[in-house]
Amino acid sequence: MVIVTGAAGFIGSCIVSKLNNEGIRNIVVSDDFRKREKERNLLGKLFYQEVPREDLHKWIEENANITDFIIHIGARTDTTEFNKEIFDRLNLHYTQRLWELCVRKNIPIIYASSAATYGLGEFGYDDEDESIIEKLKPLNPYGDSKNDFDKWALKQDKKPPYWVGLKFFNVYGPNEYHKGRMASVIFHAYNQVKQNGKVKLFRSHNPKYKDGGQLRDFIYVKDLCNVIYFLYKNRVSSGIYNLGTGQARTFEDLAKNTFKAMDVKENIEFIDTPADIRDKYQYFTEAKMEKLRRAGYVKPFHTLEQGVEDYVKNYLIKELYY
């Protein structure tokens, strides 16, 4: 039995699809199922049982003998939420309890960390030197909660038989319809073009970058699922790994490819970055990916052009789920 947490959410539901596509049906899906807007993400997917988020630890205690693996994606991910208690409860302490269960019951686990742990990138985006994790300065409580768990995990004397933490960079793709303002920039760009025929991007307030030249490592969710499946099937060295493409691209590139996929003339408008977030705005993120490549993952990632085209033409325009 494979447990997927956050299974009704964006990334979690795509992982369930990937497992189904690989012939895996013995899946326990866990989430906060009271959020009805996420129900469509699980329609048509094959799994053994739904277990509410608050009941999962007890379920594992009672069913450890049939639990082969945990893929822990569930988390509070709203970067505009500043109540630290919420993140401590749902991200840090919840994951600590899962970890301790995995130790006691000898269950391997993959869990989602985040590139938000890197903050403004003062120390680079290096997943090789674990000592850097102690120095990182995330920009919000969400990033803090992910970094706090990474630090805690590395300090533990007792660890699961196999564990991997994945620092997700900017993930985009199908099944994020419910995420509102936390959906990807591509999702919002598509809807802006559909409604107004143009895309609004933040103006650069850094002389090193032109307007629209801010850079992010955008990774298509299908690539992320492929990596997680690889790590599920292949016991690489336990530890924390980056998960991006290793190739930063500009927001202008993103917008232009959205217009192209929609067959609409380019029309980009630049607006000021809000003053209250200007000093914390990231102008560059790019995952170092050598560690994962050395671990044996050799499959190429979608380029931004390929990913946007597939997402827009096969999912957004058709209003389909993955």
Q: What residue spans define the domains of the chain?
A: 2-172+218-247+285-302, 177-215+249-278
pLDDT, residue 279, reads 81
- Is 179 a known active-site residue? yes
Give pLDDT, residue 78.
80
pTM of the predicted model as reported, rounded to 2 decimal places: 0.96
Which of 84, 179, 198, 288 is labelled catalytic? 179
Fold of 2-172+218-247+285-302: Rossmann fold (3.40.50)
Give every CB contact of residue 151 below 8 A, 6+ residues apart in sequence: 133, 134
Q: In what order do the strands lie in the sheet with 49-52?
A: 49-52, 27-31, 2-5, 69-72, 109-114, 163-168, 239-243
pLDDT for position 76: 86
190 noted as active-site residue = no
- Judged against a pLDDT cut of 80, whether residue 80 lies above it is answered with no
**Hey, how many other C-beta atoms are within 10 angstroms of the C-beta on 66?**
10
Position 36 scores a pLDDT of 86
Q: How high is the pLDDT of residue 280?
A: 81
Residues 111, 118, 125, 142: which is the catalytic one? 142
The answer, yes or no, to whether residue 202 has pLDDT greater than 90, is yes
Sign of the torsion formed by the C-alpha atoms of 299, 244, 266 and 212: negative
